Structure 1
């Protein structure tokens, strides 16, 4: 009975973004390559969720590892070049083990002005974890990304399900201004002084996975643009935020990157849009709620 199913119903906040923007847009690039579960890396099992649908049990799976390897080898370049053409600054939500294996990629993202945020140590859910185990993983991930990126991350997003302790542990850690472990709104909200920036699985390239509904690049761009146009219209009278989720190994494929480029072109041609890393959106929202913006 502790779930909040009402949210802002009947009292949605007024538009509040910088320069009277009608919509805040957050591009999130998930960096998970090298952090997926792999027996070849000494993990307890192999990752089973991806375009390679044949699950290998009890033995290393070089096929799955190679699929993930495409992201840093080719996908990253296409994505950041598309961002560069449209002047977009994004959030790179990064697993700690992935950062350890691709430090050059993380440092390049930072040099380009992008945010690096925490996405867990391995690419895995935290459901069922005890507080001690989770506290240690949060600290390890934050420390590793701080060292590699040269800037302390302020955001966190667990893959799928969190534990009941996750948000409290993030606040306890003291290094986090926000988390994205929610999917329940188009508006940020506060948990005390902590900002919750809801994420989205529908406006997300993960839907290119088998059964996800996206096949052609235009499937992604058509759907994301439809969501953008609706939120932009609503943003005339109430605060609205849009999350667009990307993955190096998914949208970075040659037949899909055009979908992202189409989305970027459409947003760039629309006035009154604030595209920002999640750290900036969280900071602005917290200041608005405190009356200091």
Structure 2
């Protein structure tokens, strides 16, 4: 039986999956049930009622540009992205300089704030961007911060060939090892391909590098384990810990038509989300909250005020664990080691 979906195409009822990757090593099954109504108690350290993860996306200098060998120059996620098409075969100077604000000014404003309040953050670091600003790479390696992988280039990996994507993954690992002295133990793409999770797992295993977590998921308020299809026949599979990221508590919505238009709106949303999750923790079911930030967005003075006000707000609350995603992953590996077929 067929219906018509909203875009006019045929939508079927009761039809089998037509996913070409079904039952392959790339087929990470979808789970619409999760932990269920009773949720799951993560038993955060020291009785914390909530774990808060601040993520600073560091992408500036790695966006699409003819100077990076690309056919087009970037037109996404900057102050006038809605009405400025991407330029073909030439530099797009206005977006370019807006990105530069993030690496020249915004990143320091954000880092200074978090370090002032003693809060460690996770950097979603693009390898090429770190290569172009070693002072930033060095700063994220100090004061308890974590450097996680955001890919070697800030580009769309959807549809990329498998071998090329492998090259990007290996290049990213060696790049961050060179600029930070360490391989990243966590990974987040954003523009993920259907092959990405399996390829990340494959490369880490080949190199013997520990992959503590992957964050290309938005499906929960808590970390959970996923079975890795490539480990199906292994006697001692390791699984993949998924630590959900967030697009709702994220400053990218300043550049979305349905998103935030004022800093006060962003601040109110963050505080409200925190209050709900904090209350659930006080009732016996602690959660985690992720706040996604970008240097060229929240690093701007008018928006930065919302970030700092929120930081002050949660600083006044007891039993709040502000931590890195690496430390959240370490907690789960120790407290809830992987069991095949189980979320925890």
Structure 2: how far apart are the matches of 1:252 and 1:171? 33
Matches within 5 A, 1:1-293: 2-50=29-77, 51-53=79-81, 54-58=84-88, 59-160=90-191, 162-174=192-204, 175=209, 176-192=211-227, 193-236=239-282, 237-290=284-337
Offset at residue 210 of structure 1 (A) = 4.6
User: What SS does the corresponding residue of 2:252 show, helix, strand or coil?
Assistant: helix
**Structure 1 runs not aligned, ≥5 long:** none
Structure 1: how far apart are the matches of 2:332 and 2:249? 22
Normalised to the residue count of structure 2, the TM-score between the two structures is 0.81
Offset at residue 214 of structure 1 (A) = 1.5
Encode CA deviations 1:241-281: one digit per residue, 9 max, x unaligned: 11000001110111111100111011111111111110000
User: What SS does the corresponding residue of 2:301 show, helix, strand or coil?
Assistant: coil
Structure 2: how far apart are the matches of 1:34 and 1:74? 14
Moved more, 178-187 or 38-47: 38-47
Offset at residue 34 of structure 1 (A) = 0.5
Moved more, 19-28 or 9-18: 9-18
Tell me how large the CA RMSD over aligned residues is.
Answer: 1.5
User: What SS does the corresponding residue of 2:289 show, helix, strand or coil?
Assistant: strand
User: What SS does the corresponding residue of 1:182 show, helix, strand or coil?
Assistant: coil
Encode CA deviations 1:201-251: one digit per residue, 9 max, x unaligned: 110111111524212221111101110110111123224111000001110
Encode CA deviations 1:140-193: one digit per residue, 9 max, x unaligned: 111101110112211111123x22221122222223211110011101001243
Would you say how many aligned residue pairs link Structure 1 and Structure 2? 290
Offset at residue 111 of structure 1 (A) = 2.2
Offset at residue 57 of structure 1 (A) = 2.2
Offset at residue 52 of structure 1 (A) = 2.4
Offset at residue 15 of structure 1 (A) = 4.1
Structure with greater helix percent: 1
User: What SS does the corresponding residue of 1:106 show, helix, strand or coil?
Assistant: helix
Normalised to the residue count of structure 1, the TM-score between the two structures is 0.94
Structure 1: how far apart are the matches of 2:203 and 2:286? 30
| Distance change (3 Å), C-alpha of 1:195 and 1:15 | closer
**Structure 2 runs not aligned, ≥5 long:** 1-16, 18-28, 228-238, 339-344
